[in-house]
Amino acid sequence: MIELIEFLQNELLLSGTLFALIILLIVNIYSEKFKKYEIVNTNGAVTLMDDDLIILDVREEKERSAGFIDSDLNIPMGQVKSKLDSLDKSKKILVYCKSGTRSDRIADLLCKNKFQNVYSLKGGFNAWQKAELPIKK
């Protein structure tokens, strides 16, 4: 045990890096449990569509040339915050982007602004296409 303490004292940079990585791993594991929105795969998204649902595409307009999910609402990520009042908080909202990263951020933003039923499409539009689900162009 004394050798370990001496090693950690002598290798402060290495010890600090190891400690930081352990903390980041713990935060990453437990942050999933504290999300107020749900991440759904394409099957889960299709199931949600049976309900009264807002499908929110947060991609830029030029990205929509690849296609989009029918009956969606396009509000680019940078404009969502200023248009929160135009969204109905009583409805379920499925957020998607190209790969799922931006939609997670917007889903979190919606939850912080008192939206209750928020979902993010895992893998985004790429996953939707890969599952060969219908798209509009």
Cβ 95 vs Cβ 118: under 8 Å: yes
The single residue of 45, 95, 97, 118 carrying the catalytic annotation is 97
Q: What is the separation, in whole angstroms, between the first and last Cα of the chain? A: 65
pTM: 0.79
CATH superfamily of domain region 35-130:
Rhodanese-like domain (3.40.250.10)
At 81 the three-state DSSP class reads: helix
The 10s digit of each residue's pLDDT in 69-114 is: 999 999 999 999 999 999 999 999 999 999 999 999 999 999 999 9
Residue 111 designated active-site: no
Instruction: Tell me which residue has tokens 């929105």.
Output: 37
